Amino acid sequence: MTEFELILDLHKNSERQGPGSEKETLKALEFIKLQNNRELKVADIGCGTGGQTITLAQNINGKITAIDLFPEFLDELNEKSMTFGLTDKIATLEKSMEELPFSAEELDIIWAEGAIYNIGFEYGVKSWKKYLKQGGYLALSEITWITNSRPKEIEEFWVQEYPEIDTASKKITLLEENGFTLAGYFNLSKESWIETYYKPMEARFESFLIRNNNSKLARKVVEDNKAEIRLYQKYKDYYSYGFYIARKNEQ
């Protein structure tokens, strides 16, 4: 297996592939004020195994297209949809977030938890906007600095991982410059990093290594993730995922 395939293997049996929680998906949803007497059209982009997709489907009157590049994740989401009796509300689609199949102003909500970074926040906001109805909503979680300055070690780590990392005020300005009005913002709690993401990941390390014959590359994948967890433990007061909920301005 390549390193990339190993990373997929580590993540595929998990509830979430990034920080987040049911509680915080629901908190973000509360900022969205849309009439609930008609069926909404929603896209959940970079849905992974669909931790948030299930919560959305259980709480929205509408249909959700859950999109991810990797069928391994979508297969798990399809299984969950069946278990929860939500197959009439969730349709999965194997597709890149750069090639969305929607028409102009088709969607009421675009949801993306921990995923827009794959194409960059600014490019994503600009290129997805056309698919939203006027008055429709974007709900995005994105790695965000929560202080104005920070130690060099963590600054260098994240700037190298994701050069677009910035403060919430900069991201909100970018949303405003692109025709959105902020409807809500909050930082994900530390619990959402540790309890629902890092701890379950740590619990999978051993079986992951056994499954992959304790190969050098599998050990590297585990070590890289352990290093990221150590950095989070050390510097968690300086960054989080910001949850941005923004409404497309009406013209």
Ligand X SMILES: C[S@@+](CC[C@H](N)C(=O)[O-])C[C@H]1O[C@@H](n2cnc3c(N)ncnc32)[C@H](O)[C@@H]1O
CB 43 to ligand X: min, Å: 11
CB 47 to ligand X: min, Å: 5
The C-alpha atoms of residue 156 and residue 226 are separated, in whole angstroms, by 18
CB 68 to ligand X: min, Å: 5
Q: Residue 179 or 187: which CB sits closer to ligand X?
A: 187
Q: Residue 47 or 201: which CB sits closer to ligand X?
A: 47
Closest CA to 225 of 40, 2, 3, 1: 3
Q: Are 179 and 249 in contact (CB under 8 A)?
A: yes
The C-alpha atoms of residue 118 and residue 158 are separated, in whole angstroms, by 14
Q: Are 132 and 110 in contact (CB under 8 A)?
A: yes
CB 50 to ligand X: min, Å: 7
Q: Residue 70 or 238: which CB sits closer to ligand X?
A: 70
CB 235 to ligand X: min, Å: 19
Place of tokens 């007061």: 237
Q: Are 84 and 76 in contact (CB under 8 A)?
A: no
Distance (Å) of CA 22 to CA 106, 156, 173: 26, 31, 28
Distance (Å) of CA 185 to CA 43, 142, 204: 20, 11, 32
Q: Are 110 and 139 in contact (CB under 8 A)?
A: yes
Q: Residue 179 or 200: which CB sits closer to ligand X?
A: 200
- Reduce the DSSP state of residue 175 to 3 states and report it: helix
List, in sequence order, every residue forming a beta bridge with 140; answer none if it has no partner: 112, 244
The C-alpha atoms of residue 80 and residue 76 are separated, in whole angstroms, by 6
CB 52 to ligand X: min, Å: 6
CB 20 to ligand X: min, Å: 5
Residues forming the site for ligand X (CB under 6 A): 16-18, 20, 46-48, 51-52, 67-70, 73, 96-98, 113-115, 118
Q: Residue 16 or 41: which CB sits closer to ligand X?
A: 16
Q: Residue 33 or 199: which CB sits closer to ligand X?
A: 199
Report helix angle 168-177 to 121-128, nearest 10: 30
Q: Residue 97 or 174: which CB sits closer to ligand X?
A: 97
